[in-house]
Chain A
């Protein structure tokens, strides 16, 4: 009885691991967690519908350089200097790569 049930469980687990493969579309990475918070001002996926500049379609190098310059005060801004100070070099890279890859 017990053996039968255990076998049954095992077959379900195998089925489970196979079917899990179908759901790999779901991905939540650090770049998303950081970048989605930019959308409040820059629009969803960085596509701004109004007067705030879009980030969508910009190269990773451009975004990265801009954020670093904002952070160091080398580029003037209204609010971006205050925001950029909240991110490390590595986080800025993740954000830049995220928006550069947005389709």
Chain B
């Protein structure tokens, strides 16, 4: 065999080898879990849990593993109702039993390393797992560098409560311990951040709690921004329901914070104003979770650039990123968006593993906010994809609740907010 023939030979053998692997996979297609491919999903929030469920729905033969450090997930959505004394933390905490009952493996561990070229990852329990496709839905991390005095440790005294669970409890206890006449400062970050209407729903439901138990108290929102999600609807409702209990300060008008004296609970604004508070809820600026930073999947702004039709990373093929960590065109960073993206991503992966075409995706977002137990408002949109714009909003679709709606309308939206929570959590965790 001369050199030329040897090269040809190797090429043919190589080709045969990959065909054998492929045919092997397809043969075992009807035999259950060894099936059409191995997909690992990292992150058991709205994005990851939904994606794992819909991967199974699209292809019952897939080998699916969900990796999530926590045994239970406390949702960020509806954690403001815990602060407002309308729900208990247990009501918004979900497990992973439904995943295992459908045949998905669940491993409670942390990913320590991703080998994108070798298509495998390492866990902190010592396991190494190989995959054909990897989905990362890791959520957010905080950027503590922009406000002096604040740190991850300081968040035990000045809670962000922007991840559900212990942080929610810390803030709730501080509100309970506060005297009537106290000042609560809520400090939302600049864009982009998780759950754009969240800080303002929080102000509303804390006001609902204070109005009943500590009516002389005040809520000061020191915002990094000049405007916020559903702003006219929130402000209209605040005046109607809570009088002047809630005061909002725009970023340029002294809202932007320069430093926080954690022990003294003293806030220094960029314009030189000082605010003494009894409870501070500082919500830090955000970036994609450290996992995707370590794996080199983020851009300069700290988020993951992906093909918005398949959510496959622009950095490493075979790795898909969904949810808050991903840049998803016009979609906001919300649990609902992550749920919607998880389904599109599942379809894209199954289509790709089977060599079939995925039909054009459609995405949806609906964010309900409660301003009081019987007063709900919403923002919604339907999205599509094209190459030029990525994910764009369908013209004429979506928008916010009408400003002139009557009490019955607000009450119905509050009722649907609870129904939405029941549906989306059952879709992701049920």
Q: Is the CB of B423 within 8 A of A79?
A: no
When distances are taken between beta carbons in the complex, the residues of chain A under 8 Å from B420 are: 40-41, 50, 52
- Rounded to whole Å, the gap between the CB of B54 and the closest CB of chain A is 7
Task: Give the tally of cross-chain contacts (CB within 8 A).
Answer: 169
A-B pairs with the 6 shortest C-beta distances?
Answer: A86-B382, A50-B422, A86-B397, A51-B419, A52-B419, A50-B419
Instruction: Identify which of B167-175, B202-210, B261-269, B360-368 touches chain A.
Output: B360-368
Q: Is the CB of B421 within 8 A of A30?
A: no
When distances are taken between beta carbons in the complex, the residues of chain B under 8 Å from A36 are: 54, 343, 347
Q: Is the CB of A86 within 8 A of B381?
A: yes
Known A-B contacts A19-B29, A26-B356, A49-B422; the reply to A37 vs B343 at CB < 8 A is: yes
When distances are taken between beta carbons in the complex, the residues of chain B under 8 Å from A13 are: 19
Number of interface residues of B (CB under 8 A): 67
- Chain B window 340-353, contacts with chain A (Cβ cutoff 8 Å), 1 for yes, 0 for no: 10011001001100
- Rounded to whole Å, the gap between the CB of A39 and the closest CB of chain B is 5
Query: Bound state CA distance, A50 and B339, in angstroms?
Result: 18
Contact of B359 among A8, A12, A30 (CB under 8 A): A30
Known A-B contacts A43-B423, A78-B401; the reply to A12 vs B20 at CB < 8 A is: yes
Q: Is the CB of B362 within 8 A of A49?
A: no
Question: How would you classify the secondary structure of chain A's contact residues: helix, strand, loop or mixed?
Answer: helix
Q: Is the CB of A33 within 8 A of B416?
A: no
Q: Is the CB of B422 within 8 A of A30?
A: no
In this complex, the interface size class of chain A, counting residues with CB under 8 Å from chain B, is 35 or more
Identify the A interface with B (CB < 8 A).
Answer: 1-2, 5-6, 8-9, 12-13, 15-16, 19-20, 22-23, 25-26, 28-30, 32-34, 36-44, 48-52, 78-79, 82-83, 85-87, 91
Known A-B contacts A52-B420, A52-B423, A78-B416; the reply to A37 vs B362 at CB < 8 A is: yes
Identify the B interface with A (CB < 8 A).
Answer: 1, 5, 8-9, 12-13, 15-16, 19-20, 22-23, 26-27, 29-30, 36, 53-54, 58-61, 336, 339-340, 343-344, 347, 350-351, 354, 356, 358-364, 366, 378, 380-383, 394, 396-399, 401, 409, 412-413, 415-416, 418-424, 426-427, 430
- Rounded to whole Å, the gap between the CB of A4 and the closest CB of chain B is 10
Which of the listed residues A1, A15, A26, A29 has the most CB atoms from chain B within 10 Å of its own CB?
A26
Query: Bound state CA distance, A32 and B351, in angstroms?
Result: 13
- Rounded to whole Å, the gap between the CB of B126 and the closest CB of chain A is 34
Query: Bound state CA distance, A49 and B359, in angstroms?
Result: 29
When distances are taken between beta carbons in the complex, the residues of chain A under 8 Å from B340 are: 37, 40
Q: Is the CB of A33 within 8 A of B360?
A: yes
Q: Is the CB of A5 within 8 A of B421?
A: no
Query: Bound state CA distance, A13 and B23, in angstroms?
Result: 8
When distances are taken between beta carbons in the complex, the residues of chain A under 8 Å from B380 are: 79, 82-83
Q: Is the CB of B360 within 8 A of A37?
A: no
Q: Is the CB of A32 within 8 A of B347?
A: yes
What are 27 A-B pairs at a CB distance below 8 A? A5-B9, A5-B12, A5-B13, A5-B16, A9-B16, A9-B19, A22-B26, A28-B347, A28-B358, A28-B359, A29-B359, A30-B360, A33-B360, A36-B343, A36-B347, A37-B363, A37-B364, A39-B343, A39-B427, A41-B420, A78-B401, A79-B380, A79-B401, A83-B364, A83-B380, A83-B398, A85-B394
Q: Is the CB of B419 within 8 A of A78?
A: no
Residue on A nearest B337 in the bound complex, by CB: A40
- Rounded to whole Å, the gap between the CB of A64 and the closest CB of chain B is 17
Query: Bound state CA distance, A6 and B53, in angstroms?
Result: 41
- Rounded to whole Å, the gap between the CB of B406 and the closest CB of chain A is 12
- Rounded to whole Å, the gap between the CB of A85 and the closest CB of chain B is 5
- Rounded to whole Å, the gap between the CB of A7 and the closest CB of chain B is 11
Query: Bound state CA distance, A48 and B359, in angstroms?
Result: 26
Query: Bound state CA distance, A82 and B363, in angstroms?
Result: 14
Known A-B contacts A49-B423, A50-B419; the reply to A23 vs B30 at CB < 8 A is: yes
Contact of B362 among A23, A34, A41, A79 (CB under 8 A): A34
